[in-house]
Structures are given as structure tokens and as C-alpha cells.
Structure 1
Amino acid sequence: MQDLWHWFDLVGVAVFAISGTLIAHSKHMDGFGVIVLATVTGIGGGTVRDIILDTPVFWLRDPSYFIAIFTAIALSIYVLNRQRNMPAQLLQIADAFGLAFFAVMGMQKAVLLGMPNTTVVIMGVLTGCFGGVIRDVLAREIPLLLKGELYAITCIAGGIVYTQALSFDLGMTVAMWSAMATTLCMRLAAMRWNWVIHVFRYPEGHQSS
């Protein structure tokens, strides 16, 4: 089971690294910029999580995470150089998959450290969202976390599903897959049907920048 969790972690890092590479491509960054953006997107959220939880940072003694990042970068560059036009929603779809994978792995680590349910959900949100926040800030974009369709809310929903599945003794595997599916489906649905939470009234025709 530990190997399965590790592979989930690697997949999450790789998918987020792809989203970092895609936004670097859209911003016409050079090779070093691509590496920086992909790397901080891939490991940023997990790094913040581990620092807060006062546990060894996950990538310090495991080079497989950087292998996953560089593999994702290489594949993304190859595809982007062959396909001149990048689909408009490709970045958000890649980000949605990374969000789901990483949110679950953040929850998983908090549970293994014996954290209460509230902390488990918060760690899921941090792990899933913070790499993307760093990526967007470096790319001089308003982070997806702060605008547009549901984002962090999907991680919270996934966290509730995860903690409740564990409380009903459905098993770790069921909890992980259920939370991942909930987070991913909610995020994709929010993108498809423009689900947002409005708290301010704006004039008709107003668009946030």
C-alpha cells in the first residue's frame, strides 16, 4: 500500500509539473523558467504542508520526485513543440487532475501523522492548491484559487468525503479514490458549467481580470 501512495504522489507531482510547463509556454519563458515553474508547481504545496506539519520535506531524500518532474517537462515540451496551438482548457484540465491527486496525498499524510479531521482537510487544501498559487504568482497571474470557478472548495469537499469514509471504516483505499473522484469531478464540473460563489454584486457585463 505504501508503494501505491508513493506512485500517487509521483503522478500528482508530474501532472502539476505539466501544468507549470504549460503556463511557462503560454508566457514564452526560456528553458530555466520552464524548469522553475514546473518544479515549484510540482513540489510547492507538499513542501508547505510538510513544513507546517513539522515533518521531513518529502522530496529531500527521494530523487524520484525530480525524475517525475523532468520527465513531465520533457514530454510536455515535445508535445508543445509538435502542436503549435495549445488547447485553451488544457492547462486547467491538467491542473484539475493535479489538484485531485495532491489534495488526497496531503490528507493521507496528515492522517498518518494522527491529525484531527479539520487539519486533514486543511492539509489537503494546502497540498492541492499552494503549488498552483506559487506558479501563478511567479507567472504574474491572479491565482486560480482566488478567482473563477470552484477551486479550493473542491478540495474541501474531497476532504469531507475522505474523512467520513475513514470514520465509517470503509478503508483507506476507498477513502482515497472517493475523495479523488469527488475533487476531480467537482472541479471539472465547475469549469464546464461555470460554478462560482459570488459574494459581491457587479454591474452587468463586468468581467474580472
Structure 2
Amino acid sequence: MAWEVLGIIGTFAFAISGALIAMEEEYDILGVYILGIVTAFGGGAIRNLLIGVPVSELWKQGPLFLIALFSISAIFLFPNVLIKHWNRWGNFFDAIGLAAFAIQGALYAVNMNHPISAVVVAAVLTGSGGGIVRDLLARRKPLVLRSEIYAVWAIVAGLAIGLGLFQSTFGLYSLFIIIVILRMLSYIYDWKLPTKPIHINQNKQQM
């Protein structure tokens, strides 16, 4: 039941984030719904394709689809009311979604006896794949490819589960809390991965 609640929170957070970005880009109502749904379920769909889970499994998540549709409708109809709360709690809910989905994706791969590399990929795709598709559809640089630390925490979750470090129910919940805390700390203190920009055009001119 607890994992189901966390999945609901993650679906809620990801659907709203997709809808908000669509509204920022001035998409019409269809675009808002599509971007919201893709953000909430895109990562799981890509994961299923890569690790061999039937895509039809996605359609068994009827209640989560209803939650996503309700969330998108609410943000579309009452944006000024909900954005105030989203600005305060949005990143926390997003961290919950990242942690819950990353762990669930890793467990999918482990249960199918995939190697640790597939476990990590499943964790990353489930936790952040929807966001990647969302940003690409919105013509933005994907968040996970920027210097901000985001997908790294999904990699940590995948490695921990793939190595068998958190196998019990208590261990999985502990890992979930750790990932949420790390994500929030990286957001609050603006932790970033190193970057090394190059200017190809300038180098060509010098040559």
C-alpha cells in the first residue's frame, strides 16, 4: 500500500510538471494533456520496451491514468491557485516521484534477473525518462543532461538495488528516504556536476 501511495504522488507530481511546462510554452489544451501524460508514464513505457516487460502492462495502470488526468485538469483550470502550492512543494513531490519510480524500475529489472547494467538503466529511465521526453517535446534541454544533479540519484538507487544492498522492505524504504533527501539537498544547495564547455566555431576560426 505504501508503494502505491508513493507511486500516486510521483504520478501526480510528474503529470503536473509536464502540464506546467506545456502551459509555459503556450501549448493548447491537447498539448497540455499529452505532455502531462507523457511525463508521468513515458519513463515506464521506455523501460518496459528495453527490459522486456510487455507494453500492455502500462494499460493496467488505469487508476494512475485517472489521477494524472485529474491533476492535469486541475492545473489547467485553476493555474493561479495551484501554482502557489506547487512552487512551495513541487520539488519535494518531484523528489518523491524520482525516488519511488527509480526504485520500482530497478526492482522490475531485478525480478526479471537482468544484469546490474540493466537494473541501473531501468532505474534511470523510470525515474527520469518521462522528464526527458517532456523536455524534448517542449524543445528544451533535458534536465538530466544539464549540470544539475538529478538522474545521478536514480543511478544510485539502481546500483544499490542491483548490488543487493537494500533487499528487505525496511531497506527499500530506507533507500527511498535517502534518495529523496539527496535530491532535495542537491536542489537546495544547488549541487552541480562538472561541465567543460567548448566553442567549436571559435576553434575552427583559429585554425
Report TM bin, short chain.
Answer: 0.7 to 0.9
Match of 2:175 in 1: 179
Measured in 2, the distance between the counterparts of 1:33 and 1:120 equals 32
TM-score, normalised on structure 2?
Answer: 0.81
* CA offsets 1:82-126 (integer angstroms, 9 cap, x no match): 367686676544433321221111012112212233321221011
Q: Residue 12 of structure 1: SS of its match in structure 2?
A: helix
Q: Residue 59 of structure 2: SS of its match in structure 1?
A: coil
Q: CA deviation at 1:38?
A: 0.4
Match of 2:72 in 1: 73
Measured in 2, the distance between the counterparts of 1:136 and 1:92 equals 17
Q: Residue 59 of structure 1: SS of its match in structure 2?
A: helix
Match of 2:201 in 1: none
Measured in 1, the distance between the counterparts of 2:7 and 2:52 equals 19
C-alpha contact 1:45 1:131 (8 A) present in aligned 2? yes
Match of 1:193 in 2: 189
Q: Which of 19, 25, 36 is equivalent to 1:21?
A: 19
Q: CA deviation at 1:167?
A: 4.3
Measured in 2, the distance between the counterparts of 1:200 and 1:25 equals 32
Match of 2:45 in 1: 47
**Cα–Cα, structure 1 residues 11 and 186, in superposed 2: closer, same or farther, change >3 Å?**
same
C-alpha contact 2:12 2:68 (8 A) present in aligned 1? yes
* CA offsets 1:130-158 (integer angstroms, 9 cap, x no match): 10001011111111011132111111122
Q: Residue 58 of structure 2: SS of its match in structure 1?
A: coil
Measured in 2, the distance between the counterparts of 1:188 and 1:181 equals 11
Q: CA deviation at 1:25?
A: 2.6
**Cα–Cα, structure 1 residues 15 and 87, in superposed 2: closer, same or farther, change >3 Å?**
closer
C-alpha contact 2:19 2:32 (8 A) present in aligned 1? yes
Superposition RMSD in Å = 2.7
Q: Residue 148 of structure 1: SS of its match in structure 2?
A: coil
Q: CA deviation at 1:163?
A: 3.9
**Cα–Cα, structure 1 residues 130 and 83, in superposed 2: closer, same or farther, change >3 Å?**
closer
**Match of 1:19, as an amino acid?**
S
Match of 1:108 in 2: 107
C-alpha contact 1:162 1:175 (8 A) present in aligned 2? no
Q: Which moved more, 1:128-137 or 1:14-23?
A: 14-23
**Cα–Cα, structure 1 residues 85 and 181, in superposed 2: closer, same or farther, change >3 Å?**
closer
**Match of 1:101, as an amino acid?**
A
Q: CA deviation at 1:182?
A: 2.4
**Which runs of 5 or more structure 1 residues have no equivalent in the other structure?**
203-209
Measured in 2, the distance between the counterparts of 1:113 and 1:6 equals 21
**Cα–Cα, structure 1 residues 29 and 112, in superposed 2: closer, same or farther, change >3 Å?**
same
Alignment of 1:122-137 (within 5 A): 122-137=121-136
**Cα–Cα, structure 1 residues 122 and 192, in superposed 2: closer, same or farther, change >3 Å?**
same
Measured in 1, the distance between the counterparts of 2:83 and 2:165 equals 49
Q: Which moved more, 1:139-148 or 1:178-187?
A: 178-187
| Greater gyration radius | 2
**Cα–Cα, structure 1 residues 83 and 63, in superposed 2: closer, same or farther, change >3 Å?**
closer
Match of 1:159 in 2: 158
